Structure 1
Amino acid sequence: MNTKKLTVVTLILLSAKISFADPLIKKEDKPIINQVSEETQKNNAELEKYYAKLKYPPGFYEGAFLISFMGGGTLAPSGSFISHEKNYDNSLQYKVVTKEVGQDYYPQSSMRNDQPGLYFKPTYTPGVASQFDFEYGWKEKIGLGFTVMQNSMNAKRQDVIPGLSYYKEYVDPIPRERTIYRGNSMSFLATYHPVPRNFFDPYLVARAGVVSFTGEAHSGLTHDRFVYSNQITSGIGSIVGAGAGLNIYLGRYFGIKAEVDYYREFLKADQFSMRTLNSYQAMIGVFVNLSNVQYRLEQY
């Protein structure tokens, strides 16, 4: 009987110990679980806050809106527009040397009749080019937009003085500086950015559009005595180009850029039906990402 009572008491004590032990274990475990959960939530909140700031990160991406300005120079111009003017200069040189055009303004003592006329070699110098680009991130790596560009070309050369005399042509005594071409173009652009969302953003670009231009040109290889000006009128045409460039972000809002392009222009005016002008351009400038600027303003 005593043995039975002892066994019953022992079972009761073990049951009580287990019953009291379970809550203690759970009580000890509960703060640890809560502590881990709070730490995780805090970390997740910090990450969400961090990535929210990078909603518009540096580099190119879908939805980016870049406005850029570049300036530079035109290199190695060529094409039928230039070659025609140079052929005109060669024809005029022959007429000056053979005295088919007048140079009576020189003192008679400085030029004998047996001497050739005075002619100076012409020089052609490209002018400064400027360009505005407006580009929108249509896709992650593809941008669309438009370009407004101006470029020019100067020449220092002699020419027949229009309208001085209908019966006899007179040439400039010394070369004069002339703007033979000044074009203003507006073209659509498409870009490809192989490395989006990066501080160093190389890209390829293609453009196509229209151009209006002024300057000086001749309809033929000899001077037309019926005209009173060599000024180009009604100059219009089309322009296509391709190039490569690099955007370097100095932050999420702006940066510097450089670009090299090849352009081909198809020109026509009252003085001629169709001539081409080819050129390379090297440009450098700055850009602003308006998407990031707008997002920054929204944070205030």
Structure 2
Amino acid sequence: MKTKLFLIYILLMATNVSMAEPTLKKEDKGVGQQHNQQNEDKKIDDAEVEKYYAKLKYPPGFYQGAFLISFMGGGSLAPNGSFISHEKNYDSALQYRVVTKEVSQDYYPQAAVRSQDPGLYFKPTYTPGVASQFDFEYGWREKIGLGFTIMQNSLNAKRQDIIPGLSYYKEYVDPFPRERTIYRGNSMSFLATYHPIPRNFFDPYLVARAGVVSFTGEAHAGLTHDKFVYSNQISSGIGSIVGVGGGLNIYLGRYFGIKAEVDYYREFLKADQFSMRTLNSYQAMIGVFVNLSNVQYRLEQY
């Protein structure tokens, strides 16, 4: 009898264990699924954070989402083109007229210039003025930037000229050369850049620009002075500008750095004084830049 009771007890215990095992497996499976779901949610959140902050967390260098603002200053090198050549041809024609005394210099004391001597003429000089440039560039792609440029450049000359409006019947020339700004241009152009080595402290790049320019200065319609013109000042000066160049950004940290750039520009100009003239120049510039994306990220940390 005792043996039968013991066998019945063993049978009941085995039945309870077999019934409880699926329940335990079901509970373990539920906990595992919950844990996996938490991991998946965390991965999604991390991916969203990384996606949002990726453009801010990159090390120094160019990258997609970078926003660079830069200022550079420098000068023009070897300017040329029909705008300058026309003014130099005007100077040559004026020199001949001064030497042959077709224009008057009778404001000199009589002892200074004898009647048989040629007129007094001094050779003109042309010197490029200071150029300045602001760039706004956004990292459209990993290696490609888009933006715009605001630039100002000028060209000065020290030359003699007919004094306009002094006399309708008689032309007088300057006794000595005077400093003049013959060209001052303000341009706004779109830019596209290519950065072959992104995310690097040393960031070389190529750049192309195209836009519009407005300008003032002094110019002449022909090779001789027009006595009906009261001023040689350029009026309604407008045109277009295109340029290509190359440069180097050197990051001094994540937020700013120094840069240098060399460009070639070609301008197509027209004004009330002339229908179309060109101005070509090389420019060498140096300046500083700030990466506003990383600055924004730094501010968000506080």
**TM class, shorter-chain normalised?**
0.7 to 0.9
Aligned to 1:257: 259
Aligned to 1:275: 277
Aligned to 2:190: 188
Is 1:200–1:248's contact at 8 Å kept on the other side of the alignment? Answer: yes
Deviations 1:241-297 (A, max 9, x none): 000000000000000000000000000000000000000000000000000000000
1:84 and 2:74 matched: no
Letter in 1 for 2:207: V
Q: How far apart are 1:70 and its partner, in Å? A: 0.1
1:251 is paired with a residue whose SS is: coil
Q: How far apart are 1:125 and its partner, in Å? A: 0.3
Deviations 1:49-82 (A, max 9, x none): xx98972320000000000000000000000000
Letter in 1 for 2:127: T
Is 2:73–2:285's contact at 8 Å kept on the other side of the alignment? Answer: yes
Cα distance in structure 1, aligned partners of 2:263 and 2:246: 7
Cα distance in structure 2, aligned partners of 1:172 and 1:190: 47
TM-score by length of 2: 0.82
Instruction: Give the alignment partner of residue 74 of structure 1, picking from 69, 76, 82.
Output: 76
Q: How far apart are 1:194 and its partner, in Å? A: 0.1
Aligned to 1:94: 96
Cα distance in structure 2, aligned partners of 1:253 and 1:85: 46
Cα distance in structure 2, aligned partners of 1:111 and 1:120: 15
2:107 is paired with a residue whose SS is: coil
Cα distance in structure 2, aligned partners of 1:260 and 1:58: 23
1:230 and 2:232 matched: yes
Letter in 1 for 2:297: Y
Aligned to 2:119: 117
Aligned to 1:133: 135
Aligned to 1:148: 150
Aligned to 1:298: 300
2:224 is paired with a residue whose SS is: coil
Aligned to 1:5: none
1:203 and 2:205 matched: yes
**Which deviates more, 147-156 or 105-114?**
105-114
Letter in 1 for 2:138: Y
Q: Cα RMSD over matched residues?
A: 1.3
Is 2:58–2:199's contact at 8 Å kept on the other side of the alignment? Answer: no
Cα distance in structure 2, aligned partners of 1:296 and 1:56: 12
Q: How far apart are 1:168 and its partner, in Å? A: 1.0
Letter in 2 for 1:163: G
Instruction: Give the alignment partner of residue 178 of structure 1, picking from 177, 180, 195.
Output: 180
Letter in 1 for 2:96: Y
Instruction: Give the alignment partner of residue 241 of structure 2, picking from 221, 236, 239.
Output: 239
Q: 5+ unaligned residues in a row in structure 1: which ranges?
A: 1-47
Q: How far apart are 1:110 and its partner, in Å? A: 1.2
2:293 is paired with a residue whose SS is: helix
Indicate the percent of aligned positions where both proteins have the same amino acid. 89
Deviations 1:129-159 (A, max 9, x none): 0000000000000000000000000000000
Is 2:129–2:155's contact at 8 Å kept on the other side of the alignment? Answer: yes
Q: 5+ unaligned residues in a row in structure 2: which ranges?
A: 1-45
2:111 is paired with a residue whose SS is: helix
Letter in 2 for 1:238: S
Deviations 1:179-198 (A, max 9, x none): 00000000000000000000
TM-score by length of 1: 0.82
Aligned to 1:217: 219
Aligned to 1:34: none
Is 1:248–1:255's contact at 8 Å kept on the other side of the alignment? Answer: yes
Cα distance in structure 1, aligned partners of 2:113 and 2:235: 38
